[in-house]
A and B are shown apart, each in its own frame.
Chain A
Amino acid sequence: MKSSRRKIAASVAGVATLALLATGCAASGSSNGGEDGGKVTLSITTFGTMGVDANYEKYMEENPNVTIEATNLEGGGAARDDAYAKIAAGTGLSDVVAIEEGWLGTIAEVSDSFVDLRDYGIEDQKDSWLDWKYKQGTDADGRVIGAGLDIGPQGLCYRGDLFEAAGLPSERTAVAEYFGGEDATWDRFFEVGQEYKDKSGKAFYHSPRFFWNSFVNQQEEGYYKKDGETLNIEGNDVLKDQFVKIVEAEKSKLGAGLPGWDVGPEAKEDKYAVYMCPSWMLGIVQGYYDEGTTDSGWDFADVLPGGSANWGGAFLGVSESSEHKEEAAKLALWLAAPEQQAASFELAGPFPSTVEGQKLVGDTTSAFFNDAPIGEIFAARSEGVIAQVKGPEDSNIQDNVFGPIFDRVSQGEITDGDTAWKEAMKLLDQIVG
């Protein structure tokens, strides 16, 4: 009895030791992988529908020694918190990390968590990017921490079928004209909304959060002054005027009173008829329908109330804690190259931030959006657009100051513009002050 028990114990210990050895070997093996040209596993974390995944297979085919382990988080907020926590812990970041424009400013404060891509040859393809996009990915010391993926020119997603039923123009050029074409204003947007509401009895838009963000992004200076440090909200009459107009529109029930960000199943239930669509939003709208749907009624028009503006866009960074910086940078730069940007666009809609990439998608159409020539429209919508300077609290302000206030307005808790603005300022003070 005793001896047999001992034997079991010994063999258990032996197996455990072996396991330890094995994992030890695996760890050291993979850390040398990059240099040996041996097998390398690269991790990448993305979020939302970035379409980057369109290219993984091809990369692994072309680089048989590389295995890509991809994680896609549901939204930008989750990706942000995830990245923050891992930077704070000093470990755990993927080799390649997707960074959103809204929190790039925060990341730039600790930019040494990411490698300087100039050390890995990003300057060789520098000219392929739009100038401002490349600059956005550069920190104050001139280190390039992010390779630009997409930009966020915005057009108007609208339900052609619902417009038609309400007796409004439904063909996309006519719709663009109806909203004012090149001179489209927000006032006109609310007018059309009222008209739609009167004729159809239904809500016009989803929630005010959306076009509030569109509006903020249209300004020369948004939540921050151009220095990226000074807040630009309190006492900003331009923002406040629009804010008050939105509260009024909410009172007239132009909005469907839906919470937050989700396109939501309400789209299918005809609960609203327009949606502000930065390029990366197309994939999100589409995501609520079955694959291959072409009769959803959604269409896409070359117009944006208040004029062209960029909203969002992502970058790929390589973490300093990566064990395969060389390989990871190679992957990141490849994914951000024109051909791959074009493939992402065709899969999910994020518009290329490279000139060449934009050319490649010039005649792309979208079957889901009633065969709209989305490549052409986004090219038109991005003409002359330069992204606004974002500060460290930009995404925090968007999500935790104005987001909650608009939810309260939508739910009818606050009905007066001035009061709502005061509440927002109070919240701003508590959260950022």
Chain B
Amino acid sequence: MTSSTLTKPSHPSTPPRSPKPAKPDLTLKQKLARFDYKVSPYLYIAPFFILFALIGIFPIAYTLNVSLYDWHLLKGQGDFVGLNNYVEVLTDPFFWNAFRNTISIFLLSAIPQLIIATGLAALLDQALRGKTFWRMSILLPYIVAPVAVAVIFAQIFNQYHGPVAGLLEAFGLEPIRWAFDVLPSHFAIASMVNWRWTGYNALILLAAMQAIPRDVYESAALDGANKIRRFWSITVPMIRPTLIFVVITSTIGGLQIFTEPKLFDGRTNGGSDRQFQTIVLYLYELAFPRRDFGRASATAWILFLIIILAGLINFAITRAIRTADAKPVPIASAPAAAQRAKGAAS
């Protein structure tokens, strides 16, 4: 767009008289209007980016800076050591132990959680009486603070006094050392995560299911597909993008798990023998009890890269699925989806 529409017609358009030929005779109001038009959009979005720079970019960059130094938590910056902190973390068996624990807890929580959430969402997608009541009920655990959840679950899984221990005893089973053995502790921690997040994810999946046009189900039903068949052939393929979203968010959350394992045994940083020390707990131990801020920062960056990697893998899988799906679809959205679903159903 040129400024010619704004200049007065009496002026010759070719030879520039002043260094700023384009806006010589604008009124203040016009100038303001132009300014408003050109700059305002950026101003409107600026708060987010300023905030993001302050509380996002800056800490990330600063952490990178700290990670390159010998940096004592209390005494502060020491000598520049290059990538030495990274080498130390990556050769520390405790780090790899924490890495394994994190993955294990993640898998134990993410997999059952997604399955149950999808099942719950499918149930809630049926014609139920008191829909809102049911939907709110499954969201209830989500509004409980994670700290409270962790404290309560630590009691439930108390090796000596917990109700679970009581149950096992009632059935004459051997007591399980929840806070001492590796797998039981992972299971206990994963159960906290599941309890808190299943309902939340179910609601997101439910929203996706509700967006599926009902006529698709009707035509599938007419074609003789039963409920289970309809679930697998219509519901699941059509909520796939949402499923992937849920997988990505729970991956990011799962890799950063801290509160639950920390409070499962508050005296330690993830168990007396690091049975459930996750990467963030390892980072916490380095930063506070051991006061090695440089290595803690290096760990933070390594975790950041791991999460990016996990994100990229997710992205690649998503794309692979999409390209596999991408058959030419002639008409827009709903009918197209219906056609696809029909194809899948038949």
Q: Which residues on the B side are within 8 Å of A408 (C-beta)?
A: 272-273
Chain A, 255-275, contact with B by CB distance < 8 Å: what is the 0/1 string?
000111100011000000000
Chain A residues with Cβ below 8 Å from B93 are 430
Whether A12 is near chain B, meaning CB under 8 Å from some CB there, is: no
The proximity string for A residues 397-433 relative to B, scoring 1 for CB distances below 8 Å and 0 otherwise, is 0011001100110010100000000000000001100
**Assuming A81-B288, A431-B290, is B267 touching A260 (CB within 8 A)?**
yes
Name the CB-closest residue of A to B274: A404
Q: How many residues of B contact A (CB 8 A)?
A: 25
Separation of A407 and B180 alpha carbons in the complex (Å): 9
Q: Are A109 and B289 in contact (CB under 8 A)?
A: no
A85-B288, A261-B267, A404-B268 in contact; A411/B177 too (CB < 8 A)? yes
Q: Would you call A84 an interface residue if the criterion is a C-beta within 8 Å of the partner chain's C-beta atoms?
A: yes
B73, A404: Cβ atoms closer than 8 Å: no
Contact of B179 with A by CB under 8 A:
yes
For residue B293, CB closer than 8 A to chain A, the reply is yes
| A107, B288: Cα distance in complex, Å | 13
Please name 8 further chain A to chain B contacts, defined as beta carbons within 8 Å, in addition to the given A259-B179, A260-B267, A430-B92, sorted by A numbering.
A74-B266, A78-B266, A113-B74, A259-B272, A261-B267, A396-B290, A407-B272, A407-B273
Query: In the docked arrangement, what's the CA distance between A383 and B273, Å?
Result: 39
Contact among A110, A266, A399, A430 for B289, CB-based, below 8 A: A399
Q: B267 near A88 (CB under 8 angstroms)?
A: no
Q: Does B161 contact A (CB under 8 A)?
A: yes
Tell me the nearest residue of chain A to B161, going by C-beta: A265
A228: CB under 8 A from chain B? Answer: no
The answer, yes or no, to whether B195 is at the interface (CB within 8 Å) is no
Query: Contact between A84 and B73 (Cβ–Cβ < 8 Å)?
Result: yes
Q: A408: nearest residue on chain B (CB-CB)? A: B273
Whether B291 and A84, one on each chain, are in contact in the complex, defined by CB atoms closer than 8 angstroms, is yes
Q: How far is the CA of A338 from the CA of B272 in the complex (A)?
A: 40
Which A residues, 74 to 98, have Cβ-Cβ distances below 8 Å to chain B? 74-75, 77-78, 80-81, 84-85, 87-88
Does chain A have a CB within 8 A of B94? yes
Binary contact readout B257-289 vs A (1 if CB under 8 angstroms, 0 otherwise): 000000001111100111000000000010011
Q: How many residues of chain A are within 8 Å of chain B by beta carbon?
A: 31
Chain B: which residue is nearest A113 at the CB level? B74
- List residues of chain B with CB under 8 Å of any chain A CB: 73-75, 92-94, 160-161, 177, 179-180, 265-269, 272-274, 285, 288-291, 293
Complex alpha-carbon distance, A259 and B93, angstroms: 25
Show 5 residue pairs from A and B whose CB-CB distance is below 8 angstroms, ordered by the A residue: A77-B289, A87-B73, A106-B74, A258-B160, A408-B272
Chain A residues within CB distance 8 Å of chain B: 74-75, 77-78, 80-81, 84-85, 87-88, 106, 109-110, 113, 258-261, 265-266, 396, 399-400, 403-404, 407-408, 411, 413, 430-431
- Smallest CB separation, B158 vs chain A (Å): 9
Contacting residues, chain A, for B177 (C-beta < 8 A): 411
CB distance from B128 to the nearest CB of A (A): 40
B290 A88 Cβ-Cβ under 8 A: no
Would you call A88 and B289 a contact (CB within 8 A)?
no
Closest residue of A by beta carbon distance from B92? A430
Contact A84 B290 (CB under 8 A): no
Question: Please, how many angstroms separate the alpha-carbon atoms of A407 and B93 in the complex?
Answer: 20
Are B288 and A84 in contact (CB-based, < 8 A)?
Answer: yes
Q: CB within 8 A of A400: which of B75, B160, B179, B289? A: B289
Q: Which residue of B lies closest to A258 (CB)?
A: B160
* A residues less than 8 Å from B288 (CB atoms): 81, 84-85
Rounded to whole Å, the gap between the CB of B84 and the closest CB of chain A is 15
Question: Contact between B267 and A77 (Cβ–Cβ < 8 Å)?
Answer: yes
Q: Give min CB distance, A111 to chain B, whole Å.
A: 10
The complex places the Cα of A266 from the Cα of B73 at a distance, in Å, of: 38
**Contact B179 A88, beta carbon cutoff 8 Å:** no
